[in-house]
Structure 1
Amino acid sequence: MAEKLRKVTIKSGKYEEEMELTQVQYGNYMRPWWQQKKREQRNRDVMEERGYSQESYDDWKDKYNDESTSMITSESVEELVEKNMELELLSKALESLMPEERDMAMSVLTGEVSLAEYARQHEAKRTTMSDKKSKVLHKLQNYFRSRGYEI
């Protein structure tokens, strides 16, 4: 027995085409849309049960969007600019180090790896790495002090 075909018209802008689909094809094509519509209906039902109407939700959404766009104040902009300047300075300070010193700074000083683990990875004594770490810190302190930052 031949499966029943269903005529479907697909429209997109000026484009329109008629197709014949089996029930299974039609279901597979429409299922995501049906699921989305069902979710939206459930959300509306729950909102109405809790006393919210579509209008009150739209009003809340509009108010929230207005508040969120005005949340950036001149103080927060100044703080962001200052943080960006400090991050840029830190980046330049790290660039001023030798590659192995930069590697140590990025690994040990950020807390990514303990000093003992870093020493094991580089097959060196922990005390030797501790001395190198102190030198790296001293270099970074001098870099920042020379640019007016007190550490």
Structure 2
Amino acid sequence: MKYWLVKTEPDECSIDTIAARGDAGMVWDGVRNYQARNFLREMQQGDQVLIYHSSCSKVGIVGLAEVTETAFVDPLQFDPDSPYFDAKSKPERPRWDAIRLQYRQTFARLLPLAELKKSPALAANPLVQKGSRLSVVPFTADEFQAVLALLN
């Protein structure tokens, strides 16, 4: 099992949005960065995913989801009405992928970035590195456990 963090804007897809999808899970799509896309492609069923709300007034880790469907072609890349449309992507050579996440839990409190940056266990994680803006971030098992410890 691997561990990940995905950043999402809560006005588009919050932890509550993921929870509301129930057993069907939530398609997590719209990733348009090659490194983040490559991380999506590494995700496997059962991997644990920290949900991080970004671009909002309360930024930080808010909950946990699980990968229930591995990378598949993101259909939004072909939809000219979608903000995630990519005219260079073709059905025979798609550029972008999506995954399916299923809700696991909402944490009792939001874990803000400022607190994450103070944790020595997370010092090497890209999330706390200056200038890192990836929407998909890998976590080691120790880093994942450090996050859970900060929440307790």
Range of TM-score over shorter length: under 0.3
Q: What TM-score do the two structures reach when normalised by structure 1?
A: 0.19
The structure showing larger relative contact order (alpha-carbon pairs under 8 Å, at least 6 residues apart) is 2
* Higher share of residues assigned strand: 2
* Higher share of residues assigned helix: 1
Q: Highest Rg: 1 or 2?
A: 1
